[in-house]
Amino acid sequence: MAEPFRLQTILDLSQNRMDEAARAFAALLASEQDQARKLTLLEDYRTEYQGQFMAAARDGLTPGQWTNYRAFLARIDDAIRQQEYQVAQSRDRAQAGQREWLDTRTRVKAFETLSDRHQANIVRREARAEQRVADDRPCRQMNDD
């Protein structure tokens, strides 16, 4: 009977960790994309509002309207800066998640290599044992005759 791979439990745990890291990485990527979409929406809204402001300015604005437009544009700019920060933070988390996944994948690959070598050794030993049996048959048949 073939001896079991002694590190199989560690290989299984490593594979589970790799799967968890892959799921976490996927969630982090989705979050990064969501944050980037929100930033794009804010930037688009600012462009649209800036256009409305320019059109209204051409038609003439009261000082109060001018102040309101500028104040609202400043708030949009603040929101954009905050969202840019969120995008950067999300990108950093996604990159860290990718590194974690790559590290766990590397460990799994190392254990899989050891497992493959173990299996190859077993196959080689079994082949040699079968060859010995096959080599002994003719000798036994000659001795039986």
> Mean pLDDT throughout 86-110?
97
> Nearest Cα to 11, choosing from 119, 96, 95, 98?
119
- Domain membership of residue 11 (yes or no) is no
pLDDT at 5: 86
Long-range contacts, stretch 110-119, CB < 8 angstroms, 24+ apart: 111/7, 111/10, 111/11, 111/14, 112/11, 114/5, 114/7, 114/11, 115/5, 115/7, 115/8, 115/11, 118/5, 119/5
Q: 1 lies in a domain?
A: no
Residue type at position 45: Y
Is residue 3 included in any domain, yes or no?
Answer: no
> What residue numbers bound the domain in which 118 lies?
16-144
pLDDT grade for 45, boundaries at 50, 70 and 90 = very high
- Considering the domain boundaries, does residue 71 fall inside one? yes
The pTM for the full model equals 0.75
d(CA 126, CA 134): 12
Q: What is the domain count for the chain? A: 1
Percent of the chain clearing pLDDT 90 (strictly above): 81
Q: What is the CATH number of the domain that holds 72?
A: 1.10.287.1700
Q: Are 36 and 140 in contact (CB under 8 A)?
A: no
Residue 113: per-residue pLDDT: 95
Structure confidence by residue, pLDDT tens digits, 52-72: 999 999 999 899 999 999 999
Q: Could you tell me if residue 7 is inside a domain?
A: no
Which has the closest alpha carbon to 76: 64, 84, 65?
84
Which tens digit of pLDDT belongs to each residue from 113-145? 999 999 999 999 999 988 888 887 776 666 665
